[in-house]
Amino acid sequence: MTKENVNIGIILGSTRPGRVSPQVGNWVKEIAEKRGDANYELVDIAEFKLPFLGDPSGEEQVKAWSSKLKSLDGFVFIVAEYNHSITGALKNALDLARDEWNNKAAGIVSYGSTGGARAAEHLRGILGELQIADVRTHPTLSLFTDFENYSTFKPADLHLNNVNLMLDQVIAWSKALKPLHNA
C-alpha cells in the first residue's frame, strides 16, 4: 500500500457575483493544509465557464472540467443554499461528468439561513447517483452567526472540530476508494 497523498478538490459551488463560497473554501483549505495528510486545491467551477448540459459549443471547457475531476481522488463541496437546494451551476457541473466522479469520496460544507442543510441533503442524493461516497460529518454555517452583514465570513470556533472530522473521513474514504477509480 502506498503512502502517497490523495488529491482533494475543494469545489466552490456558487458562481453568483458577490458569492461568499471563495471565503468559505479558502478557510477550509487553510485548515486542511495544516494537516499535511493530502494535497488540497480549490476548484472554482466559475473559472471553467461551463456550458449548460447539451450545449455543444463548450466542448473544450467540458474537456478541461473532466480532466480536472479525473486528477482528483476526493472532494469537499462548498455548498450555498439557494431556494432550498444547490445552485444551478453546481448541478450543471455535476451533470457534465459521469465516470470522473465514480468511486470517490466527498465531504460537504454548507451555508445558508438554515446552515445550508436543505441544499446538502439534495446534494447527497445526487452524489449517490454519481457513485460518490459522501461522509457523515457535515459542517453547517449560518448566514446569521457565521457571516458579518451576510457577506463577510467570520466562522465560529466550534466549526473547526467538525471540519477536521469531515476531512478525516474524506481522506480515509478517498484512500480506500482510490484503487477502484484507478482501475
Q: What is the pLDDT of residues 56-79, one digit of tens each?
A: 899 999 999 999 999 999 999 999
Looking at residue 111, its pLDDT comes to 97
Strands 147-148 and 152-153: antiparallel
* Residue ranges for the chain with pLDDT beneath 70: 1-3, 183
Cell numbers for 26:
479558502
3-state helix, strand, coil in the chain (%, to 5): 40, 25, 35
Rounded-to-integer distance, Cα 10 and Cα 51, Å: 21
Confidence (pTM): 0.96
Cell numbers for 21:
463560497
User: How many other β-carbons are positioned within 10 Å of the β-carbon of residue 31?
Assistant: 17
